[in-house]
Chains A and B, each alone.
Chain A
Amino acid sequence: MTTATTAVPTTRVPSDGRDNRAGWIFSTPFLVLYALFLIGPVLVGLVLSFFNTATVKNDLGAFVGLDNYLDILSSVDFWKSMWHSTLFTLLTVPFLVVLPLLAAVFAARITRNRWFYRVAFFAPYVVPSASVALIFSYIYSPEIGLLTKAFTSVGLPDPGFLSATKGAWFAVTLMTVWWTFGFNFVLYTAALQEIPEETYEAAAIDGASAWQQIRSITVPLLRPTIGLVLMLQVLASLKVFDQIYILLGGGPNGSTRPVIEYIYDTGFTTYRAGYAAAGTMVYFLILVLVSAVWMITSRRRDARA
C-alpha cells in the first residue's frame, strides 16, 4: 500500500510576479518528477490502450480502436476483481479509521512512557509488505500455523485462512489492519497535539468526565483529520495488490484477486499490454471520480485539513 501526501490548502496571499517565479523555481524538481513518473506514464498508457500491444515486443502492435475497452467492460473477470478491491475496501476502512483513532486518543492520555506506545503502534508499518505477507503466511498455514492452531485447539473448525474464500478475506483483513494501522495512528496523534491543553483544563474544571472530554472536544476537533484519514484509506485500500498477491496469489481460485492483480496478470502473464492499459485507464477513472466526489463534498464542509 502506498500513501499519498496531501497538499494543505492555505489562504492565498496576493503576490507580484517575482514571488511567483520563486514559487515555480522551488516547485520545479517536483514538477519534473511528476511529469516524468505520473503524467508521462498515464499518457503512454492512454495511447497503448488503443493498440493490441504485446508486453514482450517493442512495437505498438495493431491499432484496435476501442476493442480493448469493450473487452474490459464486458469482462466478467475484470468486474469480479473490481468487486474484490471494493470488498477489501469495505472490510478494511472501518477498522483502519476507527481503531487508530481510539488508540491515538488512549496513547495521548498516557503520561508515562508515551514514546513506547507510539513506537509500538507505528512499528509494523515500516515492515515491507513482502515480509509481512510471508510472516503471516506462516501464522495462517494449515495444520501448523499459529492462528490455525489457536482455532483448532479450542475445538473450532479450521477457517482455511489460505484455502477458503471467507477465511482468506478474514486473513488478509486482519493482516492489513495490523500492518497499516500505524500510519493513521501517526496522523491522529499529530492532530491531537494541535488541540490546546487549556480546552481540556477548562472542561475538567467544568466537571467534564474523561469520556465527555473525548466526545465533545477531541472528536469534533479531529473531524478534518478523520475526513482526511478516511479518504486516504479508501484510496489506499482500493489500490491493494501486494499483500493479497503474496499471501494468496489472488486465490483460492481467483476469489480474492484485486483489480490491480487482474491488470498485472493480463499485462505481464499473458503479455497483453494494450488490454491491461485499457483496464488501468478504467480503474484510474474510477479512482479520480472517487477523489473528485470527496473533494467536492469536503469543500462544501469547508474542512480545515
Chain B
Amino acid sequence: MRGDFTRRNFLAMGGGLSLAGLLSACGSPVVTSLTGGQPATADVIFWHLFGGGDGENMGTMVDTVQKATGHSVESTLLSWGNPYYTKLALAASSQRPPDVAISHLSRLSTLAQAGLLTPYEETGLAELGVTQDKFSAPAWQKATIDGSTYAIPLDTHPFVLYYNVDLAGKAGLLNDAGDGLTDISGEERFLEALTEMKKVTGKYGVTMANTADPSTAWRWFMTVYGGLVKDQGIVSDSGTKVTVDDEAMQETFAFLQKITVGQKLAPPNATGAVATQQFSGGEAGFLFDGVWQITVYSGVKMPDGSTLNLNMVPFPALLGDEACAYADSHSLVIPRASGRSAERAGYAAQFIQGLLGQSALWAQGGHIPAWLPTVESAAFKELSPQKNYVDAAANAVYDPDGWYTGAGSDFQNTVGAIIISALAGQMTPKSATSQMKSALKKLADTNAPVS
C-alpha cells in the first residue's frame, strides 16, 4: 500500500477483514452454505410450527431444557401446514436441516421414505432411557414405518367432545357423581342427548366448525366412520388402494346429516369463529373439536357473567361397538445430515429427552402427553379436564398412511370439502360416498413421489 492510505485501499482492507471474519469460523452460515452442512449458530437448531399458547409453552420448555443441559438452542417458528413441511423436506434433502424438528406423525411417511430422517436406533436415545415402553402405543406405532421408528412422539391430540357442565346438568345428562356425562353411547342415545341439550339452549344441541374448515370436517367424519370399520377403511398399501366400505360410509354420512340438516341439532354451516361464539355464548351445549382448542375457552365469560364451566371427554362409541378418537400427534425428528458431528448428534438426543421431561407443561395446551412417565405422574392426574380424556389416546385413529395424507394436506382439503357439502345437506349419503371414492381413486392412482 506504500503508505498512501486511500479510500479504495481502506475499503479493500475492510472488505478483506470482513470476509476473513465470515470465513474464520468454520461453522459460519456463509461457509456452510457454500460447502453444505449446517450452520452451527447454536448447539441445537430446532424448528417448530407452534404459534399462540402452544408456542409460549414450547418456548418455556426450550428455555428450561437449555438451562438443564447447558447447550444453546436456536429455535425457529415457521408457519403451520404445508409451507412448514416444504421447508423441512427441502432443507433436509439439500443437507442443511435443523438438528431437531417437530413433525406431525401424519406427515411422517414421506419424510421417512425419502430417507430424510435419522432412524431411532441411530439417535442414541435408547441409552438416555427414551424407550418404546414409555410411550403411548398407537403413537409409537404411527411413528414406525416399514419396521423402523423415525420419530419420537410428543403428544396425542385427539378430536373430543366438549360440553358445558352447567347446561348438561340442566339437560339431565350428568352422571350421579356429577363429574362426567351419563352413558350416551350408541346412535340413538347420542342423538337423544343432543336433543335434550337443544331443548335447554333453545338453539342448538351441538356446534362445530363445519364450513370453511375441511380438516375439522374430516376429523369428525373419521371419528364416526373409524368406529364402524377396522383398519381405517379409507386407503391401504401406502395409499395406492382405495378400501372404502360403502355401506359404512353411507351410514356415516346419514348420521352426520341427521345431526345437522335432519334434526337441526347443529348449525348446517358454522365457521370456526361462529362455533366458538355459539359454544361460549351458551347457544350450544356440546362442541366437537380438537383438544388444542382448550386454550380458547379457558376463562371465557358467559353472557350471564359466569365463567364457562366446561369439560372434555372422549367420544363414546357411536355407530359401532367401540369408541374411536381421530387423532394426530406432534413428534420430534432428527433430520439426517451427513455433516453432523457425533457431539452435535448427542446434543440433539439430549434436547429431545429434555423436552419429553417437560411434557406436563405441554399438556396445558390440551395435548395428551405421549410420554407415559408424565401421564402416570400424580401431578398430571390432578390436571383437569386433561385427566378426563386421557383415554382417547389409547383409541387414537390417525390419517391413513400415504404420501398425500396428513395434517393440512391437499387430501384433507379434498375429502373435507366433500364432507362439508354433505353436512350442509347438499348431497345424499350415497352420492357423497361415491364422490369420496372417486376423489380417493384419483389420489391413489397418482404416481407416488416416494415409496
Contacts and interface: CB of A to CB of B under 8 A. Distances in A.
A265 B85 CA distance: 12
Interface string B79-93: 000100110011011
A56 B410 contact: no
Given A56-B116, A58-B93, A253-B417, A268 B86 contact: yes
A52 interface: yes
Given A265-B410, A270-B404, A55 B447 contact: no
A273 interface: yes
A56 B90 contact: yes
A61 B113 CA distance: 13
Interface in A257-278: 265, 268-275
B115 A57 contact: yes
A61 B82 CA distance: 23
Interface string B106-134: 00001100111000000000000000000
Contacts of B114: 54, 56-57, 271
B403 interface: yes
B449 A270 contact: yes
Contact residue range for chain B? Answer: 20 to 34
A273 B449 contact: yes
Contact of B447 (A67, A163, A254, A265): A67
A54 B450 contact: yes
Interface string B191-214: 000000000000000000000100
A64 interface: yes
Contact of A57 (B212, B410, B450): B450
Interface in A31-82: 52-58, 61, 64, 67, 71
Nearest to A254: B413
**Consensus secondary structure, chain B interface:** helix
B35 interface: no
Contact of B93 (A56, A67, A270): A56
Contacts of B90: 55-56, 268
Contacts, number: 59
A61 B448 CA distance: 11
Nearest to A52: B447
B446 interface: yes
A233 B413 CA distance: 34
Contacts of A268: 86, 90
B447 A271 contact: no
Interface residues of A, number: 24
Nearest to A77: B410
Contacts of B212: 163, 252
Interface string A229-265: 0000000000000000000000011100000000001
Interface in B425-451: 446-447, 449-450
B450 A270 contact: no
Contacts of A163: 212
A56 B92 contact: yes
A55 B115 contact: no
Contacts of A253: 417
Contacts of B413: 254
A64 B447 contact: yes
Contacts of A254: 413
B89 A55 contact: yes
A199 to B, nearest CB: 48
Contact of B89 (A56, A64, A71, A275): A56
A163 B274 CA distance: 15
Nearest to A64: B447
Nearest to A270: B404
Contacts of B110: 56, 271
Contacts of A273: 449
Most buried by B among A52, A54, A67: A54
A267 to B, nearest CB: 9
A244 to B, nearest CB: 15
A52 B89 CA distance: 18
Contacts of A71: 446-447
A61 B93 CA distance: 15
A-B pairs, 7 with minimum CB distance: A54-B449, A56-B114, A56-B93, A271-B449, A269-B82, A52-B447, A56-B89
Interface of A: 52-58, 61, 64, 67, 71, 163, 252-254, 265, 268-275
25 contacts: A52-B447, A52-B449, A55-B90, A55-B93, A56-B90, A56-B111, A57-B114, A57-B115, A57-B449, A57-B450, A58-B93, A64-B447, A67-B447, A71-B446, A163-B212, A254-B413, A265-B82, A268-B86, A270-B410, A270-B449, A271-B89, A271-B449, A272-B446, A274-B447, A275-B447
Given A272-B446, A272-B449, 10 more contacts: A54-B449, A55-B449, A56-B116, A57-B93, A57-B449, A67-B447, A254-B413, A268-B86, A270-B404, A270-B449
